[in-house]
Every structure is written in structure tokens, then in C-alpha cells.
């Protein structure tokens, strides 16, 4: 089923009524819970948000968020990395799949302090008119320690701030399509772990017979694909970072980092 993107300045009455009902639902939720939730239009301008979201970006009430872009927030961390959040929104909107979702890990200094938040996003759809009005987001806090335990050197290399996305596909620009295991390995290469470290990491993550052989085969497959693409193994990490692989974590690792959300 095809859905078209609807500009907020061109919302018809049905769209506006739908947004108003959605905003009232969030307002009710704000009064009874600390849920971090809201919605943006197709240009990432906030339509509505809960009071809890408002507080982390330096505002008092959810209604104060409406009409602002992320770069307009008083929270310096949110404003600084606004382009990252807009890019995530754009990727979701341009996916061509009305049921598309994404999850991202944001670790930076919010107005409430240094926090690790997992944002789940999906399209805000108006089914009667087959329109996408924007994006719905919700967030929950996770432990910083989970991330640093798995990837202790990440922040020293790349710093806090821009999101780390859950990667649901295994293609890498410059290398082409990879197997799920090959993608796990290139992510580890991108974050600065060498072949020996990757073996150790994968044995710890999946202590099963044959892990070393599987990883060795994946490294060989990656080397073959890099050679076919004219990429030397010495320059592979630079290519992976340019392709933002270090910001696109395999789903298997992402689940370990964020834990379960009850």
C-alpha cells in the first residue's frame, strides 16, 4: 500500500484533527506517567511531546516543544547533534515502507545530565488518506555500563553525541552486501578492534565450538570483497568509518547493549 508524505503546512482538516487527538493522548499520558514520547512532522519539526521529553531538552512542558526543531532546543547536547537526528528521521521517511521502524542509542548530556536513551521511531500514518504525517518517537533509559563493558574504547575514539543506530541490513557502501557475521566483524573493525580482539570478543559473546573458524572465514570473505572493490585491508577501517559503520551497530550487539525494556 502506497502512502504519501504530507506537509504540515498543508494538513487537511482530517490530518489536523488526527494530530490534535494524538497530542491529547500524549498530554493524558504525561499526567499519569513519565513517558518520553512525541511526534515530528516530515521535516523533523516537533508536533507534540510529553512533559518528560520537554524536561530532558530544557523545556518545562510538552506544549513548549511543539513547533521547534531539535536545533532550537535549549539543551546544548540535543541542539549540537540535531543533524544526526534529522538524518535518522529522513532515512525512515524515505524507506518506502509504511511499517518501517528504527531504534537508536543516544548518549550525550541532556538537560537532566549525561544519559543513555534508546529512541524507538516509527511513521505517523493517517490511514484514511494513506498519508505519512511524520514520525512518532518514544524513549527509555538504558545503562551506560552495558555499552562501555562491550566497547570500552568507543568514546575515546568517537566521543559522545551522535546516535548509534540498530542496523537491520548488512550492506556497506563500498563493499556491497555482507553476511550477518561479516557485518558484525566489520563493525568491530570500524570501532578499532583488531583480528585477535575480534576472535576474543566473539568467543565471549558466543562461547560455542567453531566460533574462531567462523570468524576467520568472515575475515577472509571481507578481505576478498575489499580486494574486489579495490580497497586495501590497510585502508578498510577508514572506508568503514566513512560509511558510518561505527554508528550502525548490528542488531545482535544492539540488543546486548540496550538490554530488555519492560
pLDDT of residue 260: 57
Mean pLDDT rounded to a whole number for the chain: 91
| Three cell numbers, residue 62 | 510538552
In sequence order, which residues have a C-beta less than 8 Å from that of residue 26 and are 6 or more positions away?
A: 37, 38, 39, 48, 49, 50, 62
- CA gap 261, 95 in Å, rounded: 26
pLDDT at 100 over 70: yes
Q: Which long-range contacts (CB under 8 A, 24 or more apart) does 234-242 make?
A: 236/186, 236/189, 237/189, 237/190, 237/192, 239/174, 239/175, 240/172, 240/186, 240/189, 240/190, 241/190, 242/173, 242/174
pLDDT of residue 261: 53
Q: Taking Cα atoms as reference points, which of 97, 250, 70 lies closest to residue 166? A: 250
Chain CA centroid to CA 104, Å: 2
If you classify domain 4-142 with CATH, what class do you get?
alpha beta
Helix (H, G, I), strand (E, B) or coil at 170: coil
| Three cell numbers, residue 173 | 557502501
Strand 131-142 vs strand 4-5: parallel, antiparallel, or unpaired?
parallel
- CA gap 29, 44 in Å, rounded: 22
- CA gap 44, 119 in Å, rounded: 15
Q: Mean of the pLDDT values across residues 60-82? A: 94
Q: C-alpha angle 234/167/198, rounded to 5°? A: 40
For the chain, domain boundaries = 4-142, 150-156+165-258
Q: Mean of the pLDDT values across residues 32-41? A: 92
Backbone angles phi, psi at 74, to 5 degrees: -60, -30
Q: Mean of the pLDDT values across residues 63-70? A: 96
CA dihedral sign of residues 92, 255, 151, 184: negative
How far is the first Cα of the chain from the last one, in angstroms, to the nearest whole number? 32
- CA gap 129, 9 in Å, rounded: 16
- CA gap 218, 178 in Å, rounded: 9
Q: Mean of the pLDDT values across residues 112-130? A: 93
The pTM assigned to this predicted structure is: 0.87
Strand 164-167 vs strand 46-49: parallel, antiparallel, or unpaired?
unpaired
pLDDT of residue 74: 96
Summarised one tens digit per residue, pLDDT across range 162-171 is 789 999 778 8
Number of other residues whose CB lies within 10 A of the CB of residue 95: 13
Amino acid at each position: 500500500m502506497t502512502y504519501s508524505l504530507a506537509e504540515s503546512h498543508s494538513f487537511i482538516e482530517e490530518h489536523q484533527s488526527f494530530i490534535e487527538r494524538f497530542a491529547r493522548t500524549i498530554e493524558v499520558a504525561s499526567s499519569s506517567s513519565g513517558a518520553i514520547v512525541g511526534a515530528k512532522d516530515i521535516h523533523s519539526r516537533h508536533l507534540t511531546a510529553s512533559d518528560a521529553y520537554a524536561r530532558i531538552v530544557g523545556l518545562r512542558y510538552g506544549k513548549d516543544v511543539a513547533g521547534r526543531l531539535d536545533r532550537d532546543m535549549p539543551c546544548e547536547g540535543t541542539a549540537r547533534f540535531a543533524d544526526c537526528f534529522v538524518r535518522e528521521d529522513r532515512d525512515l521517511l524515505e524507506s518506502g515502507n509504511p511499517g518501517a521502524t528504527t531504534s537508536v542509542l543516544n548518549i550525550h548530556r541532556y538537560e537532566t545530565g549525561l544519559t543513555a536513551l534508546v529512541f524507538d521511531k516509527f511513521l505517523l500514518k493517517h490511514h484514511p488518506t494513506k498519508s505519512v504525517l511524520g514520525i512518532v518517537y518514544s524513549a527509555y533509559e538504558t545503562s551506560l555500563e552495558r555499552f562501555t563493558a562491550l566497547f570500552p574504547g568507543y568514546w575515546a575514539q568517537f566521543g559522545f553525541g551522535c546516535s548509534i543506530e540498530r542496523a537491520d541490513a548488512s550492506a556497506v557502501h563500498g563493499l556491497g552486501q555482507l553476511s550477518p557475521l561479516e557485518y558484525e566483524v566489520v563493525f568491530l573493525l570500524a570501532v578499532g578492534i583488531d583480528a585477535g580482539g575480534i576472535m576474543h570478543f566473539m568467543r565471549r559473546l558466543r562461547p560455542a565450538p567453531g566460533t574462531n573458524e567462523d570468524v576467520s572465514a568472515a575475515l577472509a570473505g571481507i578481505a576478498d570483497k575489499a580486494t574486489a572493490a579495490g580497497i586495501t585491508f590497510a585502508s578498510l577501517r577508514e572506508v568503514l568509518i566513512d560509511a558510518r559503520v561505527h554508528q550502525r551497530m548490528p542488531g545482535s550487539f544492539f540488543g546486548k547493549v540496550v538490554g530488555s525494556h519492560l
